[in-house]
Structure 1
Amino acid sequence: MKKIMLVGRTGSGKTTLTQALRGEKIQYHKTQYVNHYDVIIDTPGEYAENRTLARALVLYGYEADVVGLLLNATEKYSLYSPNFVAAATREVIGIVTQIDVKGARTDLAENWLKLAGCKTIFYVNSITGEGVPDILNHLREPGDILPWEEKGLNFAENRS
């Protein structure tokens, strides 16, 4: 499985998505520091929001195969400048979160991620699991067997 680093502002859903990708029960947890899991690097939102701390994301990015830029579908603006991914030395994907929230503008979030340079964009609801298998399949490498496949289940059955 390719290792992914999740980046986004506070409240964008990085930790919730981390829990969903790992098949864990979803519960609120404020990320205070960079968390390394088997194939996920969960970063604090402050690192994306603060220019000085953002430099650390570059260093942590070297440990990942893929960088996931998260954007909440209810955002009023994007943290990511146009062509933001041009300097990346890793594949960068866009992830639109909170797609089910009232007032969500998935089209706007998609446009901002495309403007930043993301060619591949996923839409997720980490609570229901919608879109999570798509990300896992994207990260999958030849020979990888996902946990629910070992049990003969699909992703939704594994979450119940």
Structure 2
Amino acid sequence: MKKIVLMGRSEAGKTTLTQALKGEKITYHKTQYVNHFDVIIDTPGEYAQTKWLGHALAMFTYEADVVGLLCSATEPFTLFPPKCTSTCNREVIGIITKIHHPDANVKRAEGWLRLAGCRDIFPVDSKTGEGISAILEHLREPGDVMPWEEKK
């Protein structure tokens, strides 16, 4: 499985997505520091929101195969400038979270991620699991056995 680093503002859904990708029960947990898991790096939103910490995110891309930019469908603005993915020497995908929230505007979030330079965009609902398998398939490498393929 390719390793992914998740980046986005606070409350964009990075930790919830991490729990969903790992098949864990969804519980609220505020990320206070960078968490390294087998194939996921979960970063605090403050790193993307603070000029002085933003440079640290660039360093974590070196530890991953794929960069996942998260944008909640409920966000009124984006932190990602146009074509920011061009500065990264890794594949960058867009992930739209909270797609079923009453205030969701999925098309707006998709537009922001496309403007940032993301070609592949995955709309997800971490609580229902919608879209999670598509991300896992994207991260799949030859020989990987997905949880739904395992023999019981």
Q: TM-score when scaled to structure 1? A: 0.93
Superimposed CA distance per residue, residues 27-60 of structure 1 (whole angstroms, 9 cap, x where no aligned partner): 0000000000000000000000001101110111
**Aligned residue in 2 for 1:72:** 72
C-alpha RMSD of matched pairs (Å): 0.7
Identity among equivalent pairs (%) = 63
Alignment of 1:1-160 (within 5 A): 1-151=1-151
Give the unaligned 5+ runs of structure 1.
153-160
Superposed displacement of residue 103, structure 1: 1.8
Q: CA deviation at 1:147?
A: 2.3
- The one-letter amino acid of 1:114's match is R
Q: SS of 1:82's equivalent?
A: coil
Unaligned runs of 5+ in 2: none
Amino acid aligned to 1:69 = L
Secondary structure of 1:89's counterpart equals coil
Equivalent pairs counted in the alignment come to 152
SS in 2 for 1:48: helix
Provide the C-alpha distance between the structure 2 equivalents of 1:36 and 1:139, rounded to a whole number of angstroms.
16
Q: Write the letter of the residue equivalent to 1:124.
A: V
- Report the secondary structure of 1:32's partner residue: coil
